[in-house]
Structure 1
């Protein structure tokens, strides 16, 4: 049986810092989650928007991975935070990947920054700075989840499920073609969205790849991506 090919967007990292050596980087746990679910992960390095069509034709499904802030120019705002954690080339390329995936009707799963970029690509906007959403340790969780009944997320996560939190930005205005399926009960921050109707989109604000080794629900999220989305 042919494996489902899942493209994962890659970041760029200078390793070690100040070395002048730039690597294509993806958190290994994302690829491992896809493999454990029976899929075949392929890392997509940052390219030009013109390359997006060919990349999307190669894959069955697309994961938009985490990383830098999304440049506010793409939702009509000026930068209001003191940060240099942006990568314009990545934004431009991944926006082109999203456009092609929708055009080619390839399902999209988005994580953290990926969810934020997806919302922007579909006509939404972001809060440029949110407080108390960055937990001190990579391992573990920081708050629970308020889940919308009869959603894709509710098939996998029970009300009150514990999730992690590693983000300084969040969704402000939701894109019209998306609907909210989970929130942070502490302040209402949007934690999961999915496409309206049959639009094959699922996105989460937390990092399931950091939790799937010890959590059945997050493991099943990758299984859902590979076999059902």
Structure 2
């Protein structure tokens, strides 16, 4: 029987050093990981049309870590049925969250929002957390996680910190150093000091109850947040899918494998 976030695994996945082991043949079938995709205008050959898509780097990272990626287009419903059929979920990057979700007026720099995607992902996250499904949130994903739990966002980070260091040239990921909180999950996975890929103009402002900031950029911007306990509810503001370092995805897969075993 699947349970909520009060469920704590009796034995967490076994670490080797600071990295949890991914899949192997002896572990049984690879866990199925739902990756929320975008719905955006795209061009295929002679066709320009709305498409459900995701950067391949996300699915490659899941595969390298030992999982089976399944794209979840943010349309329609059925989130409860989807959660019942997957072993973990990745909340991917993308457009800004509608500020109305956290009780704010839309600022001038908040130009691209996707209300349909917001509605889909908020419902998906609610179903996932209700049963303790492992959740890994990336960039927009960690912002959505914070807002869903009652937090707020800075709508244009350069206005708040006086630099565009988190938002380099369009189409180019920047490189930032982050410092992690000792004893946190993110510290156990990537270490106390990590170089990461980033490209974002929004960030966590007021942190939601139930989340803890566990990594920061040099300027104090929150770069990771996670929930207490042994279940996996963790988000990062950077883009680990753009790196060859798959430790965060391997951690998700390890927890997804454990979740499937405990709930099969």
Q: Return the alpha-carbon distance in structure 2 between the equivalents of residues 145 and 106 of structure 1.
A: 27
Aligned equivalent of 2:70: 42
Q: Alpha carbon RMSD of aligned pairs, Å? A: 1.9
Which position in structure 2 is the counterpart of 1:170?
203
Runs of 4+ in structure 1 off by over 3 angstroms are 137-141
Separation of aligned partners in 1, 2:170 and 2:215: 23
Which of residues 230, 234, 244 in structure 2 aligns to 1:198?
230
Task: Give the count of matched residue pairs.
Answer: 222
Structure ID, larger Rg: 2
| Pair 1:25–1:188, CA change in 2 (3 A) | same
Q: 1:73 aligns with which of 82, 87, 100?
A: 100
Task: With the length of structure 2 as denominator, give the TM-score of the two structures.
Answer: 0.79
Q: Is the 8 A contact 1:116 1:170 kept in 2?
A: yes
Between 1:150-159 and 1:114-123, the stretch displaced more is 150-159
1:121 aligns with 2:153: no
Q: What is the correspondence of 1:92-107 to structure 2 with a 5 Å cutoff?
A: 92-107=119-134
Which segment drifts farther, 133-142 or 189-198?
133-142
| Alignment CA distance shift 1:145-1:31 (3 Å) | same
**TM-score when scaled to structure 1?**
0.91
- The aligned residue for residue 88 of structure 1 is 115
Q: Which residue of 2 aligns with 1:62?
A: 89
Cα offset, 1:160, TM superposition: 3.1
Please state whether the residue corresponding to 2:43 is helix, strand or coil: coil
Partner residue of 1:31 out of 59, 62, 66: 59
Moved more, 87-96 or 156-165: 156-165
Structure 2 equivalent of residue 160 of structure 1: 193
Superposed counterparts of 1:16-27, under 5 Å: 16=43, 20-27=48-55
Unaligned runs of 5+ in 1: 213-217
**In structure 1, C-alpha distance between the alignment counterparts of 2:229 and 2:249, rounded to whole Å:** 21
- 8 Å CA contact 1:75–1:123 kept in 2: the answer is yes
Q: Which moved more, 1:170-179 or 1:132-141?
A: 132-141
Work out whether residues 135 and 164 of structure 1, in 8 Å CA contact, stay in contact via their aligned partners in 2.
no
- Matched-pair contact (CA < 8 Å) for 1:141–1:162: no
Q: State the secondary structure of the residue aligned to 1:8.
A: strand
Q: How many angstroms does 1:148 deviate by?
A: 0.6
Contact 2:34 2:86 survives alignment (8 Å): yes
3-state secondary structure, aligned to 2:207: coil
Aligned residue in 2 for 1:184: 217
Work out whether residues 232 and 252 of structure 2, in 8 Å CA contact, stay in contact via their aligned partners in 1. Answer: no
Instruction: Name 1:150's counterpart in structure 2.
Output: 183
Larger relative contact order (Cα-Cα within 8 Å, sequence gap ≥ 6):
2
Counterpart Cα distance in 2 of 1:137 and 1:211: 18
- Check the 8 A contact 1:109/1:202 in 2, yes or no: yes
